[in-house]
């Protein structure tokens, strides 16, 4: 009876070591992760520094504001800048806030209603000129808004909507249509067609399936589009400056410029005014940020 002998090879033991394998993979990814984190930190800094400087200046006293030394924290904390804005009758902050809320909200609702219907049609139906229409939307979105300013002004003048808040509502709602359609189309594409087909088999119409089935499923994307449009409308300046000429109808971004003055700028109250204008958009985004992030990821990645 013969015995089989095998020689021991130390290399066989190290042929595959899971610990070394995953460690090597992490080391290979380390430069890439470092670059990603460094880029994220850099973008965070250049984004937050102007905002933090605006907030700091709004609480600063004039004598320290004009100091040659750079201070990253108010040397003497004060609320006088906010009092001067809120108590100044020429600021018209309450009236301008109502105007901005009216225009931004109505334009956002109109934009979402139009683009949700159009995006659903582009996602579910095949029709002649569909690809051409999609290319037209992309080309239209790439055109700067300032190039369309004169044409929009002439059109609104013929409609009698100059110095009218409804003129801004129509302008804002129309300006956000291309991006919103593509955004929502991507979200509707991610919803299986079988869901609405099952609803129609159960007796629902297509419109009923859209309203009661598809819209609730697409709500994160719709909310994300709505918030994106609302913030853009809230911060828009050039159209509001051109179309609205009455002080009583001006929006908040235009009131900030008029509040600054043309001969002398008092930066403390101006920064306080800017903080007040930014607060509603920040609060709204904070409340619905989870839906916005979910809608962004789903609408652009699918």
What does pTM read for this prediction?
Answer: 0.78
Residue 10 makes CB contacts below 8 A (sequence gap 6+) with none
Reading the block at residue 203, the tokens are 């007796």
- pLDDT, position 205: 87
Tens digits of per-residue pLDDT, 116-158? Answer: 999 999 988 888 888 888 888 888 888 888 888 888 899 999 9
Number of other CB atoms surrounding residue 249 within 10 Å? 18
Phi then psi dihedrals of residue 167, to 5 deg? -65, -40
Range of weakest confidence among 72-76, 251-255, 292-296: 292-296
Compare 72 and 4 and report the one with higher pLDDT. Answer: 72
pLDDT digits (tens, 9 = 90+) for 48-85: 888 888 888 888 887 766 666 667 777 778 888 888 88
- Quick check: 233 and 108 in contact, CB under 8 A? yes
Higher per-residue confidence, 297 vs 189: 189
CA–CA distances in Å: residue 136 to residues 123, 131, 139, 142, 179:
16, 9, 5, 10, 11
Query: Between the CA of residue 217 and those of 62, 250, 271, 290, 298, what are the distances in Å?
Result: 53, 38, 41, 15, 12
Q: In this model, does residue 7 exceed pLDDT 70?
A: no
pLDDT digit string (tens) for 158-202? 999 999 999 999 999 998 899 899 889 888 888 888 888 888 888
182 CB-near residues (< 8 Å, 6+ apart):
119, 134, 137, 138
Q: Tell me: pLDDT of 39 over 80.
A: yes
Angstrom distance (rounded) from CA 137 to CA 114: 14
Give the angle subtended at the CA of 61 by the CAs of 58 and 63, to the nearest 5°: 135
Q: What is the pLDDT of residue 6?
A: 52
pLDDT single digits (tens) 208-234: 888 888 888 888 888 888 988 998 999
Tell me: pLDDT of 115 over 60.
yes
Residue 12 banded pLDDT, cuts 50, 70, 90: very low
| pLDDT given for residue 293 in this prediction | 66
261: left (phi over 0), alpha (psi -120 to 50) or beta: left
| 3-state SS class at 91 | helix
């Amino acid at each position: 009876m013969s015995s089989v002998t095998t020689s021991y090879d130390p290399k066989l033991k190290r042929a595959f070591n899971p610990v070394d394998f995953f460690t090597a993979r992490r080391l290979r990814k380390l430069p890439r992760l470092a670059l990603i984190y460094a880029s994220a930190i850099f973008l965070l800094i250049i984004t937050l520094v102007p905002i933090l400087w605006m907030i700091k200046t709004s609480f600063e006293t004039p004598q320290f504001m004009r100091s040659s030394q750079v201070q990253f924290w108010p040397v003497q904390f004060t609320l006088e800048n906010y009092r001067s804005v809120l108590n100044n009758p020429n600021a018209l902050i309450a009236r301008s806030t109502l105007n901005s809320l009216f225009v931004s909200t109505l334009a956002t609702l109109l934009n979402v209603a139009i683009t949700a219907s159009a995006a659903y049609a582009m996602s579910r139906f095949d029709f002649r000129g569909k690809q051409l229409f999609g290319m037209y939307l992309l080309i239209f979105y790439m055109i700067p808004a300032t190039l369309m300013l004169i044409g929009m002004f002439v059109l609104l003048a013929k409609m009698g909507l100059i110095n009218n808040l409804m003129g801004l509502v129509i302008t804002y709602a129309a300006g956000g249509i291309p991006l919103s359609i593509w955004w929502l189309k991507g979200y509707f594409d991610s919803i299986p067609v079988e869901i609405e087909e099952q609803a129609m088999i159960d007796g629902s119409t297509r419109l009923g399936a859209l309203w009661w089935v598809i819209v609730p499923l697409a709500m994160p994307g719709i909310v994300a589009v709505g918030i994106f449009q609302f913030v853009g409308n809230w911060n828009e300046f050039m159209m509001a400056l051109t179309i609205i000429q009455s002080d009583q109808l001006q929006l908040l971004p235009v009131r900030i410029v008029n509040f600054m003055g043309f001969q002398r700028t008092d930066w403390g109250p101006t920064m306080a005014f800017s903080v007040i204008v930014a607060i509603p958009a920040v609060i709204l985004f904070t409340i619905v940020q989870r839906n916005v992030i979910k809608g962004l990821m789903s609408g652009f990645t699918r």
